Structure 1
Amino acid sequence: MKQKAQAPVSAEVSHTPSDIDIELLALDLTSCTRCAGTLENIEKAIEIVRPAAEAIGTRLNVNKIIIDSEARAVRHRFSSSPTVRVNGLDLAFETRESRCDSCTTLSGSDEGTSCRIWHYRGEEYTEAPVGLVVEALLGVLAGQRSAAPAPVEYGGVPENLRRFFAGRAARQNGAAHSCCDPSEQANCCQPQAKAECCGPTTEEDSCGCR
Structure 2
Amino acid sequence: MGTEDALEAALERIEPILDALAVGITVRDIHVSTLEAAEATQLAVSPTIRINGRDIQPDYIENTCESCGGLCECEGDVDCRLWQYRGEEYSTAPVGLLVESLVQAIAPNGMQSSESRESRAYQLSSNVREFFEGAGSDESDCGCGC
TM range (shorter): 0.7 to 0.9
| Total equivalences in the alignment | 136
- How far, CA to CA, are the matches of 2:19 and 2:96 in structure 1? 19
Aligned to 1:4: none
Q: CA deviation at 1:141?
A: 2.0
Q: Are 2:84 and 1:124 aligned?
A: no
Aligned-residue sequence identity (percent) comes to 33
Tell me, yes or no, if the aligned pair for 2:55 and 2:119 is still in contact at 8 Å: no
1:167 to 109, 134, 145: 134
Aligned to 1:154: 122
Aligned to 1:86: 51
Q: CA deviation at 1:86?
A: 1.0
SS at match of 2:29: strand
Q: TM-score normalised to the size of structure 1?
A: 0.57
Aligned to 1:106: 72
Cα offsets for 1:138-191 (capped at 9, x unmatched): 11222238xxx8764223x33312221233434888669xxxxxxxxxxxxxxx
Higher relative contact order (CA 8 A, sep 6+): 2
Q: CA deviation at 1:83?
A: 0.4
Tell me, yes or no, if the aligned pair for 1:97 and 1:116 is still in contact at 8 Å: yes
AA in 1 matched with 2:80: C
Tell me, yes or no, if the aligned pair for 1:109 and 1:167 is still in contact at 8 Å: no
SS at match of 2:28: strand
Q: Structure 1 stretches of 5 or more lacking a match? A: 1-32, 177-210
SS at match of 1:163: helix
Cα offsets for 1:109-143 (capped at 9, x unmatched): 53x22110111111110011000010111112222
- How far, CA to CA, are the matches of 1:173 and 1:139 in structure 2? 47
Q: TM-score normalised to the size of structure 2?
A: 0.79
Tell me, yes or no, if the aligned pair for 1:99 and 1:114 is still in contact at 8 Å: yes
- How far, CA to CA, are the matches of 2:140 and 2:62 in structure 1? 28
Aligned to 2:24: 59
- How far, CA to CA, are the matches of 1:143 and 1:174 in structure 2? 46
Tell me, yes or no, if the aligned pair for 1:70 and 1:165 is still in contact at 8 Å: yes
1:139 to 104, 117, 120: 104
Q: Structure 2 stretches of 5 or more lacking a match? A: 112-116
- How far, CA to CA, are the matches of 1:172 and 1:83 in structure 2? 30
Q: Which is greater in Rg?
A: 1
